[in-house]
A and B are shown apart, each in its own frame.
Chain A
Amino acid sequence: MQLLTFSVAGQPYAIESRQVIEVLPLVPARPLPQAPDYLLGIFTYRGRLMPLVDLARRLGAPPPAARLSTRVIVVEIDAEPGTDRGCGTAPLRLGLVAENVVAVRSADEAGAMLPPLRLPGAEYLDRALRIGGETVQVIDVHKLLPAELTAGLAAAAAEVGS
């Protein structure tokens, strides 16, 4: 299994690379009024407008420094997380801003150290793995955003898609 690693507040995290569509350099986003602080705004990706989420702030850490290694990870998530509505569901694409996005690393699934945690308010925490002497927390992007926010964003995406 391949994991795209990044860091939040100096700690290593990862996203399964099969959930990743592309990694982009940091792009400016247009802010949205009345949005939660981790929702940085919307940006243009290949001619489409997509929401941009700050992973660090979503995980409760200070905002990331503007470096070359601070990049945007484009992912695709289910409109309604936790339900399987088949191919009829319009997938939602998100840009996630993360620090130190410089490597894709292989991990053996049998080496999973900790099953997914079930912390209230932090359902996005998936397994924790051991890679090259480091403990890496895997993030489940489908559960990253609150359900209602996901639904709202998905509705807008569906309008655009039709």
Chain B
Amino acid sequence: MMNDASQAAGIRRSIAGRLLFWFLVIALIPCAILTAITARIATSAFERAVRDTLVQTAAGKASELEAYAAERVRDGAALARGPSIVRAVRELAAAPPGRPAVAAEDQADYLAYAAKAFHYEQLLLIDSSGRVLFSLDPAIPVGTSLVAGPLADSELAIGFDRAKTLLQSDLGGFERYGSAPLPLAFVTCPVLDEGRLTGVLALGLDPQRIWQTLSDFSGLGETGEIVAAELDAEAVLVTTPLRHARDAAFRLRLPLTGREATAIQQAAEGTRGYGPLIDYRGVEGVGAWCYLPSFRWGLLVKQDAAEAYALVRFQRLAIIGLSLATILGVTLAALVVARTISSPIRTAMAVAGQVAGGDLRAAVDITTDDETGALLESIETMTRDLRGLIGRIQHSSVALMSTATAIQATASEQQQVINDYGASTSQAVAAVKQISVTSQELVRTMTEVNEMAGRTGAMAADSRADLSGMDTTMRTLAESTSSFGTKLAAISERAASINLAVTTITKVADQTNLLSINAAIEAEKAGEYGLGFLVVAREIRRLADQTAVASLDIERMVKEMQYAVSAGVMEMDKFSEQVRAGVREIGAVSGKLGEIIAAVEGISGRFGQVTEGMRAQSQGADQIREAMVRLAEGAHRTAGALHDFNAATVHLREAVGDLKEEVSRFTI
């Protein structure tokens, strides 16, 4: 089953995997190529759009500002040629030196009106020597000299010089004068009175109008802005308020060496361009730049890269998302299709596996009507037919089994009966055989007994004669033994008395020895006088020693004799007792023998008759035995035949059992 399962898994993987692979190949490769091309085209289109917007905006603003500057200069020139201005210069210059010139009231009103009408913030009348004759704003008071003093190097002084020298109107740079809140740029126009330069009209422009123009961020999105700046010594000075730094005008300086100043520096140096940049905040951006000759400013129109390329990024994300969604969809579709195809095959495999394992109950669930449905239907039909067939075989085998069992039981029973019969017959044969043998043995034994009885009678008669002689001899022997014992006892008694004598001798010898020792000691004490006595004492001791030795020998000999005698007495006693017993037994045996002889002589005659009868009986038993043996053989043969039959039945039963077992593997 495990193998089947893994096989099924392998097939499923194979079908599903191949479907998935080809689905992905067919669907995704063209899609990917198309998407790549489209994305490339769209990206370049977006980038070009951004570039066009920025470049056009820069060009538009530049031309607008240039037009504005030219208009201002033209207005100024026109005003300077007006008779009111010429007359005012003439009258104010005629005032005596040393006293400030004071304009008449109507003249001042006119000048104020003219400035307002042409959108000028300041109006100065300067005589040819550089003295201020009239000032609309007291930030530059009347009487101030432009040639000397604090304004000598100012933009106003430069413009005055240029107007006086070139006799042309011109626009100067912005500069802060006195305590004015905003810087001013002056349009300086020569005032000619009858072809002669009498003074210069200076009209102050504030940057508000320019800023207004540059603060229009239309078409620049959320982060786009316009930066104007001029070169100033070592840095670039921003001249407009910025979208992200409102107060940057004339305050923010970007060092020339920094990355942040690269684009605006190129603009201020007069170059036109477009490209990526880093702005004053350090943010990556993209911008177009150009030069404003009237103001000698650089103009930079820029936008943050994040916003400018937002669409490009969005497009990229959209492509990735769409690709993923496509892959997912294709995969799912492939899986579903694969499952649709492989599922019925798996079902068929499972059913086939169950049938192979012997389970025929498997139900097939047919859900489709395509080729796989037809396959499942065939399998179901096959299983159903197989089930019916196996069921019938099982029924038949059960019936066959019970029949075989019944036959076997009957045969066994019959065999048992025959066996019992055979066994009984065999027992009978054995018994008859035993009787026959016993009879024969009995006949033989009787014959022998008869002979033995005859012989015994003769021998018993001989024995009785011998026994009479032996009895007499034994009696004599018993008498001799008794007298021998008596003599031995006497010897033992004598030996005891000898022993007593020896003991006495020993004691005497001991005393003598003691005496000799003491005598020797006394002799020693007697000194020289005792020497002779010492010799005597020594002789006495020697004598005593010899005596002691002799007495010891006697004592030992006597003891040995006594021991021998007493042993002899004991043996004699035992012997005489045995003799007496022998005599008694011989007498008894002799009596019995007499009786036997009489009896044997009586019996011997009758044995002959008995033997004859026994012989006849033995012959009869032999005949019976032969008949029984034949009977037993018949029973045995019958039993053998039955046994064979039984064995055949067992084989049949085994065969049926095997069949049943085989069939029982199937579950229906």
Contacts and interface: CB of A to CB of B under 8 A. Distances in A.
A103 B514 contact: no
Contact of A22 (B506, B521, B537, B545): B521
A103 B517 contact: yes
Majority-rule SS of B interface residues? helix
B520 A2 contact: yes
Interface string A1-44: 01010000000000001101111110000000000000000000
B627 to A, nearest CB: 98
Contact of A68 (B510, B537, B538, B545): B510
B22 to A, nearest CB: 124
B521 A104 contact: yes
Contacts of A156: none
Contacts of A71: 514
A104 B506 contact: no
Contacts of A2: 520-521, 524, 534
A23 B517 contact: yes
A4 B534 CA distance: 13
Interface in B539-589: 541, 545
B343 interface: no
Nearest to A67: B510
Contacts of B545: 102
B525 interface: yes
A4 to B, nearest CB: 7
A10 to B, nearest CB: 19
A129 interface: no
Contact of A103 (B506, B524, B541): B541
Contacts of B514: 23-25, 71
Contacts of B525: 18
A101 interface: yes
B502 to A, nearest CB: 13
Interface string B506-542: 1100100110011011001100000000100110010
B521 A4 contact: yes
B511 to A, nearest CB: 8
A23 B541 contact: no
A24 B524 CA distance: 17
A125 to B, nearest CB: 22
B520 A17 contact: yes
Nearest to A21: B521
A18 B520 CA distance: 10
A68 B537 CA distance: 19
A18 B507 CA distance: 27
Interface size band for B: 10 to 19
Contacts of B520: 2, 17, 104
Contact of B518 (A18, A23, A69, A103): A23
Contacts of A20: 521
Nearest to B527: A18
A101 B520 CA distance: 13
A21 B518 CA distance: 8
Contacts of B524: 2, 17-18, 104
Contacts of B537: 104
A4 B520 CA distance: 9
Interface in A105-138: none
Contacts of A25: 510, 514
Contacts of B521: 2, 4, 17, 20-23, 104
A69 B541 CA distance: 13
Given A17-B524, A18-B525, A102 B513 contact: yes
Nearest to A20: B521
Contacts of A24: 514
Interface string A61-89: 00000001101000000000000000000
A20 to B, nearest CB: 5
B311 to A, nearest CB: 133
A69 B516 CA distance: 13
A124 B551 CA distance: 38
Contacts of A4: 517, 521
Nearest to B537: A104
Nearest to A2: B524
A74 to B, nearest CB: 10
A18 B641 CA distance: 127
A142 to B, nearest CB: 18
Contacts of A21: 521
Interface string B50-94: 000000000000000000000000000000000000000000000
A23 B512 CA distance: 12
A28 to B, nearest CB: 17
A102 B538 CA distance: 11
Scoring A18, A22, A68 by chain B CB atoms within 10 A of each residue's CB, the highest score goes to A68
Q: Max chain A CB contacts within 10 Å: which of B510, B517, B545?
A: B517
A22 B518 contact: yes
A69 B514 CA distance: 9
A43 to B, nearest CB: 17
A103 B544 CA distance: 11
A44 to B, nearest CB: 18
A101 B506 contact: no
Given A18-B524, A18-B525, A101 B517 contact: yes
A157 B476 CA distance: 79
Contacts of B507: 68
A24 B521 CA distance: 12
A2 B534 CA distance: 10
Contacts of B513: 69, 102
B517 A102 contact: yes
A102 B520 CA distance: 11
A17 B507 CA distance: 24
A4 B519 CA distance: 12
Given A17-B524, A18-B525, A68 B517 contact: no
Contacts of B534: 2
B532 to A, nearest CB: 14
A103 B514 CA distance: 9
Nearest to A104: B520
Contacts of A102: 513, 517, 541, 545
A112 B541 CA distance: 26
A38 B541 CA distance: 30
A69 B511 CA distance: 10
A102 B507 CA distance: 14
25 contacts: A2-B521, A2-B524, A4-B517, A17-B521, A18-B524, A18-B525, A20-B521, A22-B521, A23-B517, A24-B514, A25-B514, A68-B506, A68-B510, A69-B510, A69-B513, A101-B517, A102-B517, A102-B541, A102-B545, A104-B517, A104-B520, A104-B521, A104-B537, A104-B538, A104-B541
Interface of B: 506-507, 510, 513-514, 517-518, 520-521, 524-525, 534, 537-538, 541, 545
Interface of A: 2, 4, 17-18, 20-25, 68-69, 71, 101-104
3 nearest CB pairs, A to B: A104-B520, A68-B510, A2-B524
Given A68-B506, A104-B537, 15 more contacts: A2-B521, A18-B525, A20-B521, A22-B518, A22-B521, A25-B510, A25-B514, A69-B510, A69-B513, A101-B517, A102-B517, A103-B541, A104-B521, A104-B524, A104-B541
